Amino acid sequence: MARVFNFNPGPAAMPEEVLREAQSELLEYGDSGMSVLEMSHRSPDFEAILHDAEDTLKKLYGIPENYTVLFLQGGATLEFAGVPLNLMKTGHAGYLVAGNWSKKAWKEAQKYGTADLLASSEDTHFDRTPRLAGPVDQSLDYVYICQNETVYGTMTKELPDTGSVDLVSDISSMFLSCPLDISRYGMLYGGAQKNGGPAGITVLIIRNDLIEDCPARADICPTYMDYKVQAGKDSLLNTPNTFGIYLCGKIFHWIERTGGLEAMGERNWAKIGKLYDAIDASKLFRGLAVPEDRSISNAVFTTGSKDLDAAFVAGAKERGMVGLKGHRILGGMRASCYNAVPPEAVDALVAYMAEFEKDNA
């Protein structure tokens, strides 16, 4: 068996020890006599798995008492609709558009109400995060951001000042990358498949007083997407992705064991920082995001030549490094350096970049 260095943007690398643990429990979980895959979602064994995952996540982020954690399905994409359906109380929200994910969310919100474009960085091809030009209309239902734009490799490091308007953040590609002050948000959510688990789980963290008023669009909100219903049923309205939640729980424990989010954040910046240093020192490669807004997770770069980029990606694959092809919108290369990507993977990539540069100078 040879496991490659996996730079996939999502689904992405998972910790090998978590995969091994899951493997060792695949036929029988504890002394239940069955696999988690075969277990009722209403059984005490599964309820314990669910509550343990929830509690571990609360500990990792230091989630305040007045917030609820939900494990849903439909990916981050379904929440592009879930957010306005639940939170557009007056039918008017504001969006910051930093890339394709926030743009999709903004477009989807327009189906359900008025979604103002408060700021966008599209005029500079999303090479940075947009900044608010002035104070935010305090009557807005919420202000929406995508905090790490996976395709463009940018990250919002300083949250926009929205006054008393609640902030809603898509944190899919920085979920569990580093600590966050949860109390600064009304709601955060993300697909787990980037950094927190397998595909098929959306983790949602929402303040309880917001749930009280959900769903804003009771007339049309599907029961499944009603946050109040989901919270009341503890994510067990219907059959959840049981095995996915089990794996998420294992990953949360792995993060806890390896020092928690503070240590994870430091390791992640050190790891991807080496790659950014290599890009900055290179005469061949250049980064596509402005340095101050660079992502903790996704480094995007190019040689400026389609052919050379393709040759680089192909050469990397021969050397056991995969997932480096840039998103089809942007081209070039993207190295997603999530939690489970070891520092050795980035070291190998940096070494190959130097070799490639020498051969193609």
Indicate which single residue of 82, 153, 191, 326 sits in contact with ligand PLP (rule: CB under 6 A): 191
170 is catalytic: yes
Residues 258, 243: Cα–Cα separation, whole Å: 23
Least distance in Å: CB of 31 to ligand PLP? 34
Comparison of 241 and 242: residue with beta carbon closer to ligand PLP: 241
Q: Is 254 a catalytic residue?
A: no
Stretch that binds ligand PLP, among 40-48, 169-177, 305-313, 348-356 (CB under 6 A): 169-177
Span near ligand PLP by CB under 6 A; candidates 70-78, 153-161, 229-237, 325-333: 70-78
Identify residue 79 by its one-letter amino acid code. E
Amino acid found at 183: S
- Long-range contacts of 38-42, Cβ-Cβ distance < 8 Å, separation of 24 or more: 39/242, 41/236, 41/239, 41/240, 41/242, 42/236
**146 is a contact residue toward ligand PLP (CB under 6 A):** yes
Q: Work out whether 342 is an interface residue with ligand PLP (CB under 6 A).
A: no
Q: What is the total count of residues that contact ligand PLP (CB under 6 A)?
A: 12
H/E run at residue 287: strand 286-287
Burial of 188 (0-12, 13-18, 19+ CB in 10 A): buried
Question: Quick one: 169 exposed, middle or buried, by C-beta within 10 A (0-12, 13-18, 19+)?
Answer: buried
Does the protein bind ligand PLP through residue 10 (CB under 6 A)?
A: yes
CB of 191 to ligand PLP, least distance (A): 3
Q: Considering 170, 226, 293, 309, which one is annotated as catalytic?
A: 170
Residue 278 Cβ vs ligand PLP, minimum distance, rounded to whole Å? 24
> Is residue 172 a contact residue for ligand PLP (CB under 6 A)?
yes
Residue 77 makes contact with ligand PLP by CB under 6 A? yes
The yes or no reply on residue 337 touching ligand PLP (CB under 6 A) is no
Q: Which C-beta is closer to ligand PLP: that of 76 or that of 350?
A: 76
CA–centroid distance for 16 within its chain: 20
**C-alpha–C-alpha distance, residues 28 and 22, integer Å:** 10
Helix/strand/coil for 115: strand
Query: Cβ distance 166 to 187 under 8 Å?
Result: yes
Minimum Å gap between C-beta 17 and ligand PLP is 25
Beta strands per DSSP E along 73-192: 92-97, 114-120, 143-146, 148-149, 154-155, 167-170, 187-191
Answer yes or no whether residue 194 interacts with ligand PLP by CB under 6 A. yes
Which residues form the catalytic set? 101, 170, 194
The residue ranges that bind ligand PLP (CB under 6 A) are: 10, 75-77, 101, 146, 150, 170, 172-173, 191, 194
